[in-house]
Amino acid sequence: MTRVLVSGGTGFVGRFIVEHLLARGYDVLVGARALPAPAMFSRPVAFVPLTLDPDVDQSAAFRGVDHFVHAAFQHVAGRYRGGEGGDPEGFRRANLDGSLRLFKTARHEGVRRCVFLSSRAVYGEQPPGAALLEETPCHPQSLYGALKLEAEQMLSGLATDAFATTSLRVTGVYGPCGHEGAHKWQSLFDDYLSGRAVEPRAGTEVHGDDVASAVRLTLEAPVGGLSAGVFNVSDILIDNNAILAIVRDLTGCGHALPGRAAVTAFNAMNTGKIKALGWQPGGFGRLRETIGTLLA
């Protein structure tokens, strides 16, 4: 049985990855700073302490591991971009130096594949309406985006015939929040249902399980199908008007919807490359179903 170590396995996105791999027969090892809550996962799962401290030797965590999925990220609670707070150097040390130490350790211990969860933030500002391809020149405008891009490049530089590397540039992730409390759209739903004004806003979204599916496909793909090692992971371009229209339909709330956002100016992510590996995200059907779950 293939053993996969998932760093950040108790985080929002990490939990989706762990559950998805468990359901498909993988032997999953959760790496995190603290033990998972007793009912966090659908079944018992092995745990190993893992941190983003670049000064700590964590070789033992990688022994017997076939693949490494790096989903851990240290940041101010609730913030990714801007998550450095008042400590940009500490943010860099953990998320870049700490990640590089884990990548090197994984390679040294004989791990065969490494998947890094990067972000659409690496692209930065682009011409209005231009599609984002993996080959699009990157101009990150936040420390978060800059470090994700640097980590991608460092991981790629470690690749060998025996150590295949992949980075997934993931857009905004939605889905049930498990044991963490409020979901990402809680305040949006609350404002609308209470009759408060909601600003028009557009963005790209992808369900957490669809992210996990992309991770699994890159673990299973022939190494020759991982050329360049970078894949966009995004599903739908949607605005607050369309999200809240679903809420209105499901609740019968009669409050006015916000105005439409200018979606034609938004930079949607081209996902042809990951779809060539067989990726099939849930689209608007999954979004509507999930919103129903969140409202319930």
How far is it, in rounded angstroms, from Cα 104 to Cα 163? 10
Instruction: Give counts: helices (H), strands (E), the chain.
Output: 9, 10
Q: Give the three-state DSSP class for 203.
A: strand
How far is it, in rounded angstroms, from Cα 193 to Cα 186? 11
- DSSP assigned state of 12: H
Query: Can 80 be counted among the known catalytic residues?
Result: no
The answer to whether the beta carbons of residues 175 and 209 sit under 8 Å apart is yes
Q: How far is CA 288 from the centre of its chain?
A: 20
Q: Which residues pair with 168 in a beta bridge?
A: 117, 231
The set of residues, in sequence order, having a beta carbon less than 8 Å from that of 33 and lying 6+ positions away, is 49, 50, 51
Catalytic residue among 26, 80, 123, 144: 144
Could you give the angle at which helices 186-193 and 283-295 cross, rounded to 10 degrees?
Answer: 70
Q: Which residues pair with 7 in a beta bridge?
A: 31, 70
Q: Which residues pair with 117 in a beta bridge?
A: 168
Q: Give the three-state DSSP class for 183.
A: coil
Q: Which amino acid, residue 144?
A: Y
Identify the sign of the CA torsion 50, 53, 54, 55. negative
Among left, alpha and beta (phi > 0; psi -120 to 50; other), residue 50 is beta
Q: CA 224, 230, 232: angle at the middle one, nearest 5?
A: 120
Tokens linked to 164: 């295949």
Which residues carry out catalysis? 144
